[in-house]
Structures are given as C-alpha cells and as structure tokens.
C-alpha cells in the first residue's frame, strides 16, 4: 500500500506531524515534552494501535490506522511513512 491509498488523496492536510527514530525515540512533534522519550511511553494518538505503530517504526515500514486523539479531541487518520536521512540504514 502506498501513501494516499488509505484516504484516496495524497494532498490531504497535515494537522500534526511526529518524527521517530527507528528505536522509537520521539525526535519531534506537536508536544515538545515528548521529544527524547520513547513513543511507547508517551504517545496517546495511536490508541489501541500503539504497539502496531511502534513495530512499524522499528521495522521501517508504512502503517495506517484511524484512532481518537485525546490531545486533539477528535478522530484522526494516521499515516506513517519511513524515510532515511543521508546514508543511514
């Protein structure tokens, strides 16, 4: 599945963005206090899909789900796409 297949539009608005390292560390996101911590310990947006999302990050694969975000107070569509910096593996 490629980015955009889940919602049918590759030009959707991004309301929030988080960046994780392959070991699950939060590198950047909406809540600055989470930076430097492991996504398993601090992320709430994934709801019941947290462990599946963390596995996708660790494996460097795409992941998509719908969940409720307590922080945003609304249902969200989540799309995770891996990317590399420089020559990193």
Indicate whether 3 pLDDT > 50. no
pLDDT bin (cut points 50, 70, 90) of residue 88 is: low
Burial class (CB in 10 A: 0-12, 13-18, 19+), 20: buried
Category of 54 on φ-ψ map: left (φ > 0), alpha (ψ -120 to 50) or beta: alpha
Cα separation, 2 vs 5, in Å, equals 6
Q: Which pair of tokens denotes residue 53?
A: 């999302």
Indicate whether 12 pLDDT > 80. no
Neighbours of 43 (CB within 10 A): 21
**Cut 0.85: pTM above it:** no
Contact in structure between 29 and 35 (CB atoms under 8 Å): yes
């Amino acid at each position: 599945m490629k980015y955009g297949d889940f919602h049918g539009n590759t030009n959707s608005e991004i309301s929030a963005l988080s960046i994780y390292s392959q070991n699950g560390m939060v590198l950047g996101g909406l809540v600055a206090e989470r930076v430097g911590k492991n996504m398993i310990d601090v992320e709430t947006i994934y709801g019941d899909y947290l462990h599946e999302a963390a596995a996708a990050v660790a494996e460097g694969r795409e992941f998509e789900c719908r969940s409720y975000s307590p922080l945003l107070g609304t249902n969200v569509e989540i799309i995770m796409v891996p990317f590399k910096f420089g020559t990193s593996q």
